[in-house]
Structures are given as structure tokens and as C-alpha cells.
Amino acid sequence: MKIVILDGRTLAPDRAAWAGLEEFGEVVYHDVSTAEQVVERAAGATVVATNKTPIREETLARLPELRLITLLATGYDCVDVKAARARGVTVCNVPVYGTRSVSQFVFALLLELCHHAGLHDEAVHDGEWTNQPDFSLRKTRQVELAGKTMGIVGYGRIGRQTAVLARAFGMDVLTHSRSGGDNSPAEGVRFCGLDELFAGSDVISLHCPMTEQTAGLINRDQLSRVKPGAFLINTARGGLVVEEDLAEALNSGRLGAAALDVVSKEPIRPDNPLLKAKNCLITPHIAWATDEARGRLMETTVANVAAFLGGKPINVVN
Ligand SMILES: NC(=O)C1=CN([C@@H]2O[C@H](COP(=O)(O)OP(=O)(O)OC[C@H]3O[C@@H](n4cnc5c(N)ncnc54)[C@H](O)[C@@H]3O)[C@@H](O)[C@H]2O)C=CC1
Ligand SMILES: O=C(O)C(=O)CO
């Protein structure tokens, strides 16, 4: 049986790290693949592992031997899961592995927006503190989170954990989720409509998946409702945001700042309008990438393949 890893490098560039899959069959490893390379590389494979390499209907049609697509990620928007189901291909993902890391990263981004610790460190190392008389050198406005409201779009695993951290910072939490009430809210968390969430939040954090319904959810119309000066954080998927509209909201000062771990095309293109937008912090899709989360991701991937081959698939999303 052939197992093809289409884009293993971001998880584990060392091929030895994939040895756990070798007990199931021949493993063919690729650092990274384009959508156009999938058919050739996955030909004859029973199992394909993909992190972000797209697998669309036309690709599936040309891979008749494929039985399992195992995502090396939580988000599965790069796979046409409906087309896979129609062809009898099981798709599974890796939930939970990154819940704590991603929600922690939300606060790494948010705290950077509040305090600009990196910028102050640079100023100190450049001698700015030494060369002025005051005991304190404040280069930007400093913001306290206690008493502010965090709006969480998507109250699933990461959204819920982000709410826990927000509560620990003394924030009130508004949330909007698909069913409006899936998962009973924790104390201090209130479900509301998206418009109310946008109008009532000092910090908006996105945690819903990228789907037909959520594509472009954050657009000019929605951004016109935000509290002046609010912060937007996106660690979910770039496609949730209309990037030109976000750049406009930042440049006009309507939105105070944005911190984005994800953009619509990754790696980011040089003409992405957010690269030149005011007060826009961008990290290269690393919220998931702690050592601990990557270890769990690999373990669950091996478990996904073992369960599927054992006839009792787990973490199935289609
Ligand atoms: N930046 C990174 O490194 C990472 C990003 N992610 C992203 O985070 C997303 C969320 O992950 P989890 O919380 O584990 O998923 P989850 O499935 O536990 O939660 C997603 C939540 O979004 C809600 N939702 C779905 N459609 C919605 C809509 N139209 N409006 C509002 N809410 C909606 C669902 O009801 C669910 O409660 C993933 O889909 C992935 O795109 C996940 C891991 C790492
Ligand atoms: O797990 C995910 O969904 C990520 O985006 C990280 O690959």
C-alpha cells in the first residue's frame, strides 16, 4: 500500500520523523507540492496526507485508487470534502492538537498590539532609553485588556479556549457561532448576532472555519460597524477577510490595528494590500507550530491512518 505525503516539510522536514507511517506501507515523502503536481505524485496511492496542498474534484477524479485523505491540520478547506465523499474517499483531520497553541498565539498577537514590546526592546538596544533623561520611555499608547470586550467569531475548540484566556485577562466575551448556541457558553461569555458582536467588541478574534458561508465574512459592511479603534485578530483563515476592505479600514483609522497569522494566499504575495496597511501586524501562519502541537499532530496522523486501515476511521470530516 502506498502512502503519499504531499507537503510534510512544515510539520517535520526530517523524513525520519515520518517513520510512524512506515509500518502501514510504502511512504513517499514530498517537502511541498503544487496543486498541479498532485495527480502525478499521488498516482496509485491509497492514502494521501496533505497540509495545505489543494485536492479538488478534478484531482480526485484522476486518483481512482485513493481511499483516505488525512489532513496534517485542523482546517480542511483545501480539500473538496463533498466530492471526496461522493467518490467514497474518507477525509479526516487533526482536531485539538493546536487548540492551546493557537489560543496562546492569539494573546501573543493581542499583547503585541497592546504593548509593542518588540518595538520598545529595539528602542532600548538602539540607545534611545539611555539617551534621554526619564526613567520610562513610552513609544506607543499602552492598552489594558481588563474590562474590555472580546468578540469571538466561531465558538468551537479554539474559540472557546480563547474565551477562557480572555476571561483570565478580565475581559467580557461576546461570541457568534454557526448555530448561535452550539456549546453552552462558559461563564462571562454571551452569544449574540454578528452585527452586535462587531459593534460591541474592542477586540474581534476569528475562529470559524473557511467555508462557502464564511468566505469574505469580514468585509467593508461588517467593518463599518466596529467600535472606532477596535483590534481585529485572525488566526483562522485569510479567506474570511476581504483584504482590500481590511486595508481600507486600517488606513482610514476606523480599525485601530489588525494582527493576522493567515492571509488569503500563502506565502503572502508582494502585492497583498495588507503589507502596506497601517498598524497591521502579520505573522507567517505559525500559530499552530509549537513543538508540543507538532508532536501531537504527528501522533494523531499516525492514529488516523491506523484507525482507517483497521476499519474504524476516526476524526472523519466528510
Ligand atoms: N493559524 C493556525 O495555525 C491554525 C488555524 N486553525 C484554524 O482555526 C479554525 C478553527 O479551529 P477549531 O476551533 O479547532 O475548529 P472547531 O470546528 O472546533 O470550531 C469551529 C467553530 O466555528 C463555528 N462556525 C462554523 N461556521 C460558522 C459561521 N458561518 N459563523 C460563525 N461560526 C461558525 C462552528 O460552529 C464551530 O463552533 C480551523 O478551521 C482552522 O481554519 C486551526 C489550527 C491552526
Ligand atoms: O491546523 C491548521 O488548520 C493550520 O492552519 C495549521 O496547519
Q: Which residue from 27, 52, 57 is spatially nearest to 42, judged by alpha carbons?
A: 27
What letter does residue 264 receive in the DSSP assignment?
S
- HSE, CB side, 13 Å, CA atoms: give it for residue 24: 23
How high is the ipTM of this complex? 0.99
Which pLDDT score, from 0 to 100, does residue 147 have? Answer: 98
Q: What is the pLDDT of residues 99-113, one digit of tens each?
A: 999 999 999 999 999
Q: Which residue from 36, 45, 31, 160 is spatially nearest to 95, judged by alpha carbons?
A: 160
Pocket of ligand 2, candidates 51, 94, 235, 304: which has the most ligand atoms within 8 Å of its Cβ, to mutate?
51
Give the model's confidence band at 178: pLDDT under 50 very low, under 70 low, under 90 confident, else very high: confident
Q: Is 98 in the pocket of ligand 2 (CB under 6 A)?
A: yes
Does residue 186 or residue 314 have the better pLDDT? 314
Q: Is 63 in the pocket of ligand 2 (CB under 6 A)?
A: no
pLDDT at residue 15 greater than cutoff 90:
no
Q: Is 159 in the pocket of ligand 1 (CB under 6 A)?
A: yes
Q: What is the pLDDT of residues 263-298, one digit of tens each?
A: 999 999 999 999 999 999 999 999 999 999 999 999
Ligand 2 centroid–CA 276 distance in Å is 25
Query: Which parts of 179-279 fold into alpha helices (H)?
Result: 194-200, 220-223, 243-251
Q: What is the pLDDT of residues 202-255, one digit of tens each?
A: 999 999 999 999 999 999 999 999 999 999 999 999 999 999 999 999 999 999
Ligand 2 centroid–CA 191 distance in Å is 26
Q: What is the pLDDT of residues 140-166, one digit of tens each?
A: 999 999 999 999 999 999 999 999 999
Which pLDDT score, from 0 to 100, does residue 304 have? Answer: 98
Query: Which parts of 126-236 fold into alpha helices (H)?
Result: 157-168, 194-200, 220-223
Q: Is 259 in the pocket of ligand 1 (CB under 6 A)?
A: no
pLDDT at residue 181 greater than cutoff 70:
no
Query: What integer best gives the mean pLDDT of the chain?
Result: 97
**Residue with the nearest Cα to atom 7 of ligand 2?**
73
Buried b (16+ CB within 10 A) or exposed e, 61-86: eebeebbbbbbbbbbbbbbbbebbee
Ligand 2 centroid–CA 123 distance in Å is 34
Radius of gyration of the chain (CA): 21
**pTM for this predicted structure:** 0.98
pLDDT at residue 183 greater than cutoff 80:
no
> Quick check: 218 and 240 in contact, CB under 8 A?
yes
> What CA–CA distance (Å, rounded) separates 66 from 48?
7
Residue 94 to residues 70, 74, 109, 198, 301, Cα–Cα distance (Å): 8, 5, 24, 30, 7
Instruction: Cell numbers for 199, please give them.
Output: 459593534
Which pLDDT score, from 0 to 100, does residue 186 have? Answer: 85
pLDDT at residue 182 greater than cutoff 80:
no
Go through the domains of the chain in sequence order and give each one's CATH number.
2-97+291-309 (3.40.50.720), 99-282 (3.40.50.720)
Which pLDDT score, from 0 to 100, does residue 187 have? Answer: 87
Give the catalytic positions in this structure.
237, 266, 285
Instruction: Cell numbers for 27, please give them.
Output: 511512504
Measured at the CA of 124, the angle between CA 122 and CA 130, to 5 degrees, comes to 150
Does residue 177 or residue 53 have the better pLDDT? 53
Ligand 1 centroid–CA 256 distance in Å is 24
